[in-house]
């Protein structure tokens, strides 16, 4: 019997995803979930995460999280899929609650992400309204809570058929930012409703340097502009079909790590 939940994790070769898998081992086992790790990098990981999980290596000159998710999704068989970052600790209760909420044309994102060094601050919302020719789509990209937690728009559980129906991720986006919001926009454009539920936490502090922050901001702006150009033409499809063809034609090198 094939488990009906697949957990998909994408990282580069430098990331120690083994710690995350060990920390989540019990929750993943109790959820009876298949776990697939996709490594997107110039070189394969020196230490594979472990024999209990499928590991796929995608050879690319630069890290593309969206491409890794699309390639990984092509190997999934479960009814539901959870896109999870490589530094997240999730509980069995949150997994169960998210899965129960993916019904009636809905997809689910994580309500709260706690960080070990979070400090209390004023709550705030950061939202975008994307105007398609036939309808506007409003997306809250980030919500900050007074206890220092933030929302997790990139931690998404949905039916695999809905992911495929909107074309998966957009793999022309690279670097940091907007690749997850682009998926949320296109899912809502397709008529699916978003619900936020559950709480997870970072295994380590997610504080980054000012230089890295500037790079992320530039990357996000670049990706936003790419998406806006596509939206202006009415295109709300991702690139999973193109990525699948490129894998088949060996334009994208994919192998077991």
From residue 167, alpha-carbon distances to 4, 64, 243 in Å are 21, 16, 10
Backbone angles phi, psi at 124, to 5 degrees: -160, 150
Residue 48 has pLDDT above 50, yes or no: yes
pLDDT of 12 reads 87
Residue 18 has pLDDT above 60, yes or no: yes
Largest CA distance in the chain: 51
Tokens of 117: 């060094």
pLDDT in tens, 174-190: 877 789 999 999 999 99
Task: Quote the pTM value.
Answer: 0.89
Residue 250 has pLDDT above 70, yes or no: yes
Residue 2 has pLDDT above 80, yes or no: no
Which of 35-44, 70-79, 242-251 is least confident? Answer: 35-44
Q: Which CATH architecture has domain 5-252?
A: Alpha-Beta Complex (3.90)
β-bridge mates for residue 114, sequence order: 201
Backbone angles phi, psi at 25, to 5 degrees: -55, -45
Tell me if 186 sits within 8 A of 72, measured CB to CB.
Answer: no
Q: What is the DSSP string of 148-180?
A: S-EEEEEEEEEEHHHHHHTTS--TT--SSSSHH
The residues spanned by each domain of the chain are 5-252
Average pLDDT over residues 9-32: 88
């Amino acid at each position: 019997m094939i488990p009906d939940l697949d957990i998909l994790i994408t990282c580069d070769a430098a990331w120690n995803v083994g710690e995350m898998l060990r920390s989540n081992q019990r929750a993943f086992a109790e959820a009876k979930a298949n776990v697939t790790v996709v490594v997107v990098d110039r070189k394969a990981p020196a230490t594979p995460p472990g024999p209990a999980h499928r590991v796929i290596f995608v050879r690319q000159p630069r890290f593309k999280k969206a491409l890794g998710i699309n390639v990984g999704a092509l190997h999934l068989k479960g009814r539901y899929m959870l896109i999870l970052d490589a530094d997240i600790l999730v509980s069995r209760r949150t997994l169960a609650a998210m899965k129960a909420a993916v019904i009636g044309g809905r997809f689910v994102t994580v309500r709260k992400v706690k960080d070990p060094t979070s400090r209390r601050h004023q709550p705030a919302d950061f939202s975008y309204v994307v105007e398609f020719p036939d309808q506007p789509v409003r997306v809250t990209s980030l919500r900050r809570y007074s206890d220092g937690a933030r929302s997790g728009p990139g931690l998404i559980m949905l039916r695999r058929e809905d992911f495929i129906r909107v074309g998966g991720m957009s793999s022309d986006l690279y670097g940091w930012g907007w690749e997850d919001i682009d998926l949320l926009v296109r899912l809502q454009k397709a008529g699916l409703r978003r619900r936020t539920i559950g709480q997870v936490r970072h295994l380590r502090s997610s504080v980054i340097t000012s230089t890295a922050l500037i790079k992320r901001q530039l990357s996000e702006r670049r990706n936003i502009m790419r998406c806006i150009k596509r939206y202006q033409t009415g295109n709300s499809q991702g690139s999973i079909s193109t990525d699948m063809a490129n894998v088949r034609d060996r334009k994208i090198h994919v192998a077991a790590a």
